[in-house]
Chain A
């Protein structure tokens, strides 16, 4: 569905952050991306969405080359990007208006858009939040509302930029439940290997501006310590 070929990119005045990157995403893939801060993970997402133009390389999305702004306008209708900071994503006064914003832009009628928005909010356990003011939500609520705004556009691919960062356990579990139920392909950036192993089927590492596809990572469990650890107990899978 997404093919990046030999992509290079540098921010002005900085060394190359992406250097000959190749990447492919197929239908049904759930890819986790690990990498150091500044290894170019977010940059790659922005290149896929056409928010940044690569210095060189080819982008092919849904089988068509994506070059011009017009190509990317279509791309953005089918790929949803969840930003690192939910405050960037929620800009309308109320939650309902924010979630309905995407569908309305896609040309849906007001009734349809509200219908879609309500359904999406229901699915994320946010019913009753319709008329809440976006800037007064808590951190976890903001993240889920931001996810709702992306899902309301009914994308076929999701790009999730550290969706679990700064969330408490309950919200994280809710997020895992929602994501594993989705019938979507997605790429997921996270620093938390537990979270990644819960919802990604393949995990790649990013290093030196490339994705190390040849060295697929395998997660393994570590011994850990916590209070009452001597008592027999089990952890959720």
Chain B
């Protein structure tokens, strides 16, 4: 079963307007992405950790996500120090370890973890449909929003069909091995999944036509920006300005 690990609304952050949250998290990410100074980057990470603490997410689930992302980053830690041109920081079995490469890897690690944490704290808990409509209100093109919402709606159905197919294969004694038979069977399963998905898409479209679909969905959710939204947006703004000042300040001195 596909799980939405973070979709529980129970913290102060969750009381904020989802649109405001999206804007805040996006602004923060843009700022964090361009930082270079370690003082600023560390401060950004601290802000992210504070937000995560406020959001009260389950630390274990968060850690799992972080491990997934950081294992990808670990790859950069292997590649960049070995390949990046520049002075050698030290030699590993006579291989030069590039100082610039290490710095770049460290920057990337801090940035991506900070951004990830902020998104887990602020965006991940938003229920999917709310997220869709909040994006629509932020003038994201309607087609993209509907694509997102429909994907969410049918990913569970397709998952169910996937399990049905797997079960059908299993009860006839299929167990995956490294051989052509397995590859062929898996290819058939995937192919069948596509066929079923496309047939379902056809039927859903028919159902929409039957109910007078004219190319537009209607959201019945109301969004209102309250004082606490404005206040948090202001706080986030101040934090971002502080980060940029930290970044520039160190460079000028």
Q: Which residues of A contact B (CB under 8 A)?
A: 46, 49, 51, 73, 76-77, 80-81, 83, 85, 87-94, 96-97, 100-102, 104-106, 110, 113-114, 133-136, 149-150, 153
The docked-state distance in angstroms from the alpha carbon of A93 to that of B200 is 17
The docked-state distance in angstroms from the alpha carbon of A149 to that of B210 is 11
| Contact status B218-A110, CB under 8 Å | yes
Question: B66 an interface residue at 8 Å Cβ cutoff?
Answer: no
- The one of A77, A101, A150 that contacts B218, using a Cβ cutoff of 8 Å: A101
The docked-state distance in angstroms from the alpha carbon of A113 to that of B217 is 13
- Expressed in whole angstroms, the minimum distance between the Cβ of A138 and any Cβ of chain B is 13
- The one of A51, A76, A85, A89 that contacts B212, using a Cβ cutoff of 8 Å: A76
Q: A73-B212, A97-B220 are in contact. Are A83 and B153 (CB under 8 A)?
A: no
B155, closest chain A residue (CB): A135
Residue with the greatest number of chain A CB neighbours at <10 A, chosen from B127, B128, B157, B212: B212
| Contact status B218-A104, CB under 8 Å | yes
- Expressed in whole angstroms, the minimum distance between the Cβ of B190 and any Cβ of chain A is 21
B200, closest chain A residue (CB): A88
Q: Which chain B positions have C-beta within 8 A of A91?
A: 150, 153-154, 204, 207-208
| Contact status B203-A153, CB under 8 Å | no
Question: B209 an interface residue at 8 Å Cβ cutoff?
Answer: yes
A sample of 28 cross-chain residue pairs with beta-carbon separation below 8 angstroms, ordered by A number, consists of: A49-B210, A51-B206, A51-B209, A51-B210, A73-B212, A83-B203, A83-B207, A87-B200, A88-B203, A88-B204, A88-B206, A89-B207, A91-B208, A92-B217, A93-B132, A93-B152, A94-B129, A94-B220, A96-B220, A102-B211, A105-B212, A105-B213, A133-B127, A134-B153, A135-B152, A135-B157, A149-B211, A150-B211
B208, closest chain A residue (CB): A91
Question: B156 an interface residue at 8 Å Cβ cutoff?
Answer: yes
What 10 A-B pairs are tightest by C-beta distance, nearest first? Answer: A93-B129, A105-B212, A102-B211, A88-B203, A104-B218, A135-B156, A89-B207, A51-B206, A81-B210, A88-B207
Question: B251 an interface residue at 8 Å Cβ cutoff?
Answer: no
- Expressed in whole angstroms, the minimum distance between the Cβ of B197 and any Cβ of chain A is 12
Number of B positions contacting A (CB below 8 A): 27
Other A-B pairs, 13, CB within 8 Å; known A97-B218, A135-B157: A81-B210, A83-B206, A88-B203, A88-B204, A91-B153, A91-B204, A92-B153, A93-B128, A93-B152, A94-B129, A114-B220, A149-B211, A153-B211
The docked-state distance in angstroms from the alpha carbon of A111 to that of B5 is 35
- The one of B127, B154, B210 that contacts A76, using a Cβ cutoff of 8 Å: B210
A106, closest chain B residue (CB): B212
Q: Which chain B positions have C-beta within 8 A of A89?
A: 204, 207
Chain B residues 182 to 240 lying within 8 A of chain A, measured CB to CB, are: 200, 203-204, 206-214, 217-220
| Contact status B207-A105, CB under 8 Å | no
- Expressed in whole angstroms, the minimum distance between the Cβ of A201 and any Cβ of chain B is 25
Question: B149 an interface residue at 8 Å Cβ cutoff?
Answer: yes
| Contact status A133-B129, CB under 8 Å | yes
- The one of A76, A81, A88, A101 that contacts B217, using a Cβ cutoff of 8 Å: A101
| Contact status B211-A105, CB under 8 Å | yes
The docked-state distance in angstroms from the alpha carbon of A91 to that of B156 is 12
A152, closest chain B residue (CB): B211
The docked-state distance in angstroms from the alpha carbon of A100 to that of B157 is 22
The docked-state distance in angstroms from the alpha carbon of A133 to that of B157 is 13
- Expressed in whole angstroms, the minimum distance between the Cβ of A41 and any Cβ of chain B is 16
The docked-state distance in angstroms from the alpha carbon of A80 to that of B212 is 11
Q: Which chain B positions have C-beta within 8 A of A94?
A: 129, 220
The docked-state distance in angstroms from the alpha carbon of A89 to that of B206 is 9
